Structure 1
Amino acid sequence: MNRHVRWMLSALAVPLVSLMGYGIAGVGNAPKQQAAAPAGSVSEYPSMTALRKVEEAGVAYELSWKITNSPLIVVAPHGGSIESRTSEIASAVAGTNHTQCQFKGMLPAGQNFPRLHVTSENWDVEECLILIGQRTHALSVHGTSRAGKVVYIGGRDIATGAELATALRAAGSSVVQPAPADIAGTSAANFVNKDADGAGVQLELTYDLRMELFPTKDGPPSASGQAFVAAVQGVYA
């Protein structure tokens, strides 16, 4: 079955999200959990399922999604205050054309990463996995602690990753593709590689680059940020 036919069939599957109670109309929000978040920090949760049984939605985190008919979904799994500015970047890339899913940390400063960061292999947010599986392209936006102003491109979709590398270099970004092994994002268990083709793209952006692209939280992109977003969008147009 070719990609076009599979995408058309997967588009018909979107109502499954609504049937499962995930809010298909425009923007969905995860139901609020009743358990209070524990004081202090904890070791990384073994999965998002485990995290959501303990942490309180609307207090510790916000989970949201916007759905379109595009074959691309853009995901910020560590947004808000977990990996700063990844939410802004993912939202700008998705724009109004593409589906997006965001998990944002809302805890006090210093608590978000150690308490709410779950690795991509264990990021089992069912609502988002359904949307990812219905689409032929998936793009995840992460932050890395590496130095400099660099974007590392990984994931199993090597062809699209190479196109992104070319486009981003032309837009003035410093790019490493493929990404180093520890942030390569090539595991089949990585949520970004669970799209209809089993191969997505993972972007890892350094802190200095993220701050350059979006200088203020929830604010507009800088000139270089606009160029970055336009380059990514152009590849997925």
Structure 2
Amino acid sequence: MSRLQHVTDAFVGVTETFGASVDPLVLADRLVGHCVRLTGAGSAGVMMVTARGRLRTVAVSDERADVLEMFQLQTGEGPCVDCWTTGAPVGAPDLPGHADRWPRFAVLAAEAGFRGAYAVPVMVHDQQVGALNLLVKPPGTLAADDLRLVSALSGVAATAMMQWRSDPARPSDILTRVQSVISAKASLETALGMLAAGGGITIAEAARTLRDYGLRNGVRPAEAAQSLLGRTLGLDTVLAAAPERPGPGPAHSGPAG
């Protein structure tokens, strides 16, 4: 398989919320497994925050990662803890050079055979819900593209975990959701037609206007469309969000005689 196929399989695997044998912990296990397979990391672990604001390990790729994750939680020292505290990625490709920062973690990681350590925030929308730890064998460096990949992968995996339901979806449930997508699209097209006719604009301009209205007011386009159809939102209110259209330019007089 090509790398692109492996990446595709990874994103599909961490977003499968309808499988009967899938739960959030399965998704977390898949996440750390794919992070190891797709990068130069030797081990990986993911922590997520509890309702009390404390980090807890939810998945590790192997026993070494488990020990190092547990050590970070017990001592408050290490890349995952710093990543959670600062909300920013942490990179330590040369752990011995970070002995002042993490004196005990650096030694323990070296004893486990790791030269470098990285951590990236786990995000759901714009809210951090945890941190993903990557432990690297010598020479200890991960490519920037690898870090961007695992950051994106952890984000979609965490979002899928939030959307998981304990009751397995039935085929009829899936068809109902598909129908809701189709209905939303039909309502949106009708609302765009109303905006275009009412404002004397094109459908493309109506779509941009509805999008701009939604961004300014924190409303989803489909929700705004339903409000327009239900007459609880006026056309003029939405059209007011449209950028001004350029008027005709000044008339040109003929060359001076």
Q: TM-score scaled to structure 2, two decimals?
A: 0.23
Q: Greater helix percent: which structure?
A: 2
Q: TM-score scaled to structure 1, two decimals?
A: 0.24
Q: Greater strand percent: which structure?
A: 1
Structure with greater Cα Rg: 2
Which structure has the higher relative contact order (CA within 8 Å, separation 6+)?
1
